A and B are shown apart, each in its own frame.
Chain A
């Protein structure tokens, strides 16, 4: 530190002057390689200590205390499921000494990871950092240890500049431990599966490569059609650190907008670059545990999708954008499939761990078997801000013993697809077979043993059931259990039975009634009654009535498609929703204008029941329909311009127009309004209540419609009333007094 302090101003000057450094140039000054005691390794020939070496300029104490766990050493929790997989030693050990930091692995341009692993597994962990330098010319492995090459050092004992090239970590550095990273354009990608050390690829099948999947060398089903890159962000030249940046990196640091005054769009105050280089935090955005300030929340400052992408502008074609954004993580639609095998079942009950993979057809050498890829299971995840969103996961079952095993979820955030490979069809979710409730195989059929689902882990909720099927045990996701109601997919069965039952009863009753009337008509030929023509319905009344009728029929038909898009497929789901909403708005307008007309013209009176004797009148009307009509009796109630509606009609319309219709409208608005005012819809029951209720009312409306149309045939002649609603003129039987 003291030795190098006078370099810092010079370094700052260099920063300013060399802004246009040629690509590949680094400005790292030369330095001594020091051992754990602080001596120059050229003299002591001991193992390099990165903490001491890098500590000459950088505050390695700070770094060690501010590192994503696992980057210094694996914690037991992380290592547990795989400890037995790795055998003795393995990478569960810390690199080197003091804090286990191996700066070279991530910051050397071409570190030697295989030499490092060899040192770790052969019990020479303290030489792991030194081994990482193998191949660069700095140190050479000899039978009796490692020998430093004098030719790589200058006369002062410092590393030569071309050997001291320290760089920002590129994706391939992360790939040493995290998963397969493949950047060579001309070499077709070949899978390196089955390596637990490559954690991310092993647990989820994620592969980071800008290459097109169709250009890979894998025996992958349907490869020619997969004209997309493995990961769109790596194709667009992002690195891991573009999103997983060091939390105090001044280039990426953004002030929390919640802490800024509303009028400030950008804050230029940030950490000075030399301060940052002196004390770079190694807690990377997106680490599971971030202790800085926010108290270990999962979603502390982190470059999520919305940090770069504007959802609304990116999805101009998507209806109900906010609704989708609230319920779904971007990954659900943008990572619909992984194309590399992932671990499915890890059986630790035997001496040697047995690993079964999903996404691969058959067993055997993964390189030659047919790879099919797999679709992740969609699980609800509670985010840091309390919101629950559906996100994709792989499930791995670990059998600790033959009797007990646990299913755990592993998150998927990479291998984002682009363009036509993204889920765009509404029917992917809004359909009987929705991807949101798809099932994933978690265990092959075997006798004995019980599987338990995970407890809430990293915010992921185990909502779903284990289903026994012929070919194994499946986990079926259940978004309904997490409070998600998906139009076109979720169903409340008793509502369907109740509503359907009422409709069927209505139909049956009408059929019976019609049959009886038909028979009665034969017996009692109605004498030609004398009638007079009354102009019953003026033009506007007829207009609003038929408009209402057609709209309601349209709403029912589109509503059926929304309810069961597969069965009622005369329209696509998206079209049905749009048309339903337009018709609903028209209904509202029509109803409102009609109500206004009725009030303004005074015709509202026809709907109001008379105060006295109303119930008696209702009963006498009912008696007419149930028995009098078969006997050829006249209507107990004569229709006139002022009294158009019989008491039963008044009752019905009272209920329909003042209770059912408003309820239907309000529930409809709240369902559509879940997009704009989610809290309001949530408070009034949420979609899980509103939609089934809306459906039940729809059943009742359908029953009413049928009943209403039938009852119009009870006029002077079966078609008299319908004709009257078209022409306006109705033949009304003369009242006995009038004759």
Chain B
């Protein structure tokens, strides 16, 4: 009987008659949200270089030559990137006849202001060896520093002009190389502006081994920098807003996360106006205080010094921790002050104004750490001066602003009138790190209503709280 086909057909028909209606009529599970893990690259496997390098290495360049023996294109690829060139691709600016390249090489900020004439100490963070003056050979492959990003020995330290410090064991360092860790990136990026946690507000030493309270990606999910800053042929994704004017090669939260992934429809409606970091980075400088105010005009006095209060060489500071960010419209591009641009000495000059406004469909409200400073400017020509601070004749040695201004202006190629003053400047640092766990995200009452009032509606261009006045499509007040 078991062999008869017709019996099995009847049985199959019976089972299908039940299974098909059940399958059709039973409710489906709601679509599983896109799994963000699908876009996170797999952790690369480290190749042990212990037996591949024999040394001895007398200088960093000798290490580089050894690296290039097996990785011949590495230096070439590296030299195309901004970690090497310290400047961007050329871009058009309204105030200049020709396209401009902007980068650490020639930019100005309101921290230590600029690197020209100050190369040796500033270029300690250059991914190369020997940039000690304006004549650095950017075409020499052997000057590329492989170890700063690839060293895993922990004892590789760069000094002035990027030369490894005395006592660094280059062989150990070379043998230890692997894919960049947080220590590699953080050794420079956490310490911008002259020390740990000074500059960014969302990048500091607490991110070496953060708990999930500090950053959920790096803390709970053990992300390395390179998991978001994905790299192909040394081209590292992500743009430093303070330097880069454009939006290409940018990292977005939506590279991994679905855009409208909130269970609450009302929150999903915010996505078109509010950037992800606004709600998910409720505070900057969560663990370690960051510098929020730097008054250069007070420098030079012989009064008690404190790294967090006053230094003779630098002036007076204010540091803050657990900062409530300031919010601006931002469409991923910004205006940059270029040396020589005129300023209004009675107003606050924004060195890198975030572009975007309430009418710009690409703009979102984003959180910023704002660094406010008073820095030196030419009172006759009305532009900012990039002073010479380091070196034997610099301000940090001679405490002479006039001389510092003269040397610095010569280095950047701008005339100096001899008449200097100090003017207020602001600099905006968009917050993208120190993402909080989702239960710490902002609530409705953080921005709307009379409670926290994180957003200044009028300043953002609304006529009032959109909850009562309507969305930006309807109520822009200009």
The residue in chain B whose Cβ has the minimal distance to the Cβ of A214 is B439
Most chain A CB within 10 A, of B11, B15, B17, B21, is at: B17
Minimum Cβ distance to chain A for residue B129 (Å): 50
Q: Out of A210, A723, A727, which one reaches B445, CB within 8 Å?
A: A210
Q: In the complex, what's the smallest C-beta–C-beta distance from A55 to chain B, in angstroms?
A: 30
Which of A183, A236, A546, A582 touches B14 (beta carbons < 8 Å)? A546
* B1 & A210 in contact (Cβ 8 Å cutoff): no
Mark contacts of A225-244 with chain B using CB atoms, 8 A cut-off: 1 yes-contact digit, 0 otherwise: 00101000001110000000
Instruction: Give residues 1-27 of B contacting A (CB, 8 Å).
Output: 1, 4, 6-7, 10-11, 13-15, 17-18, 21-22, 25-27
Interface size, A (range): 35 or more
Which residues 74-129 of B sit at the A interface, judged by CB distance below 8 A? Answer: none
Cβ-based interface call for B312 (8 A): no
Interface residue? B463 (CB, 8 A): yes
* Known interface pairs A184-B451, A582-B26, A727-B1; A235-B14 also in contact (CB < 8 Å): no
Q: Give the residue of A20, A183, A235, A578 whose beta carbon is less than 8 angstroms from that of B444.
A: A235
Cβ–Cβ contact A546 & B25, under 8 A: no
Interface string of A574-617 (1 = CB under 8 A from B): 01001100110110001000000000000000000000000000
**Cβ-neighbour of B27 out of A183, A543, A578, A590 (below 8 A):** A578
Which A residue's beta carbon lies closest to that of B6? A539
A466, CB-defined interface residue at 8 Å: no
Whether, in the assembled complex, A511 has its beta carbon less than 8 Å from a beta carbon of chain B, the answer is no
- Among listed A61-69, A125-133, A547-555, A707-715, interface-contacting one: A547-555
Q: How many residues of B are counted as interface, with CB atoms below 8 angstroms from the partner's CB atoms? A: 34
Contact A583 B446 (CB under 8 A): no
A237 touching B445, Cβ below 8 Å: yes
Q: Mark A699-739, 1 if CB is under 8 A from B, else 0.
A: 00000000000000000000000010011000000000000
| Residues of chain A within 8 A of B445, CB atoms compared | 183, 185, 210, 235, 237
B430-459 vs A, Cβ < 8 Å mask (1 yes, 0 no): 000000000100011110111110000000
In the assembled complex, the CB of A582 is this many whole angstroms from the nearest CB of chain B, namely 5
Instruction: Name the contact of A543 in the complex, choosing from B13, B452, B463, B469 (C-beta under 8 A).
Output: B13
Beta-carbon contact of B10 and A542 below 8 Å: yes
Closest chain A residue, CB of each to CB of B15 = A550
Nearest residue (CB) in B for A729 is B1
Residues of the B chain whose Cβ atoms lie less than 8 Å from the Cβ of A419: 263-264
B439 touches A227 (CB 8 A): yes
> How far apart sit A582 and B17, CA to CA, in the bound complex (Å)?
11
Assess the A237–B26 pair: CB atoms within 8 A: no
Q: Roughly how many angstroms separate A230 CA and B142 CA in the complex, as a whole number?
A: 63
A210 contacts which chain B residues (CB < 8 A)?
A: 443-445, 449, 451
CA distance A20 to B469 in the complex (A): 9
Inside 8 A of B469's CB, which chain A residues have their CB? 20
B465 within 8 A of A: yes
B467 at the interface (CB under 8 A from A): yes
Taking CB atoms, residues of chain A closer than 8 Å to B446 are: 185
- Please tell me if the beta carbons of A578 and B11 are within 8 angstroms of each other in the complex: no
- A550–B443 Cα distance when bound, in Å, is 53
Q: Which chain B positions have C-beta within 8 A of A235? A: 443-445
A186 contacts the other chain (CB 8 A): yes
Known A23-B464, A185-B451, A236-B444: A547·B17 in contact at CB below 8 Å:
yes
A551 pairs with B452, CB closer than 8 A? no
CB distance from A729 to the nearest CB of B (A): 10
CB within 8 A of A212: which of B4, B21, B25, B443?
Answer: B443
Which of A186, A551, A583, A726 contacts B1 (CB under 8 A)?
A726
A554-B463 contact in complex given A227-B439, A235-B444, C-beta closer than 8 Å: no
Contacts of B439 in A (CB 8 A): 212, 214, 227
Which residue in B17, B22, B25, B448 is a CB contact (below 8 Å) of A237? B448
Interfacial chain B residues near A236, Cβ < 8 Å:
444
- Give, as a whole number of angstroms, the nearest-CB distance from A289 to chain B: 32
Bound state CA distance, A419 and B445, in angstroms? 18
Do A550 and B449 touch (CB < 8 A)? no
Point out the residues of chain B lying under 8 angstroms from A183, CB to CB.
Answer: 445, 450-451
Question: Could you tell me the distance in whole angstroms from the C-beta of A210 to the nearest C-beta in chain B?
Answer: 4
Q: Which residues of A contact B464 (CB under 8 A)?
A: 20, 22-23
Q: What residues of chain A lie closer than 8 Å to B11, measured between beta carbons?
A: 546
In the complex, chain A residues whose CB is within 8 Å of the CB of B450: 23-24, 183
Interface residues of A in 399-439 (CB under 8 A from B): 419
B18 pairs with A554, CB closer than 8 A: yes
Instruction: Decide yes or no: A586 and B18 within 8 Å by CB, A20-B463, A237-B444, A539-B6 being known contacts.
Output: yes
Report B416-430 residues with CB < 8 Å from chain A CB.
Answer: none
Q: Do the beta carbons of B25 and A185 come within 8 Å of each other?
A: no
| Inter-chain contacts of B15 with A (CB < 8 A) | 550
Interface centre among A214, A237, A551, A582 (most CB of B within 10 A): A237
Q: Which of A558-587 contact B (CB under 8 A)?
A: 575, 578-579, 582-583, 585-586
Quick check: A582 and B25 within 8 Å, CB to CB? yes
Residues on the A chain within 8 Å of B452, using CB? 185-186
A582 and B22 in contact, given A229-B443, A546-B14, A723-B1 (Cβ under 8 angstroms): yes
Residues of chain B contacted by A551 (CB below 8 angstroms): 18
The reply to whether A550 and B463 form a contact with Cβ atoms under 8 Å apart is no
Q: Which residues of A contact B448 (CB under 8 A)?
A: 237
Contacts of B27 in A (CB 8 A): 317, 578
User: Complex Cα distance A660/B105, Å?
Assistant: 91
Cα of A583 to Cα of B17 in the assembled complex, Å? 10
Bound Cα distance from A579 to B22, whole angstroms: 7
**Whole-angstrom CA separation of A582 from B449 in the bound complex:** 49
- Chain A: minimal CB distance from B37 (Å): 22
**B21 touching A582 by the CB < 8 A rule?**
yes
Q: Which residues of A sit under 8 angstroms from B263, Cβ to Cβ?
A: 419
Decide if A550 touches B18 in the complex (CB within 8 Å).
yes
Q: How far is the CA of A546 from the CA of B7 in the complex (A)?
A: 11
Return the contact of B18 from the options A212, A229, A583, A723 (Cβ within 8 A). A583
Of listed A184, A554, A726, residue having the most chain B CB within 10 A: A726
- A586:B6 contact, CB within 8 angstroms: no
3 nearest A-B pairs in the assembled complex, by CB-CB distance: A227-B439, A185-B452, A210-B445
Can you pick out 7 interface pairs between chain A and chain B where the beta carbons lie within 8 Å of each other?
A23-B464, A23-B465, A185-B446, A210-B451, A543-B10, A547-B14, A550-B18
Residues of B within 8 A of A (CB): 1, 4, 6-7, 10-11, 13-15, 17-18, 21-22, 25-27, 30, 263-264, 439, 443-446, 448-452, 463-465, 467, 469
Besides the known contacts A546-B11, A550-B14, A726-B7, 6 further A-B residue pairs in the complex with CB atoms under 8 A apart = A20-B463, A210-B449, A214-B439, A237-B467, A419-B263, A550-B15
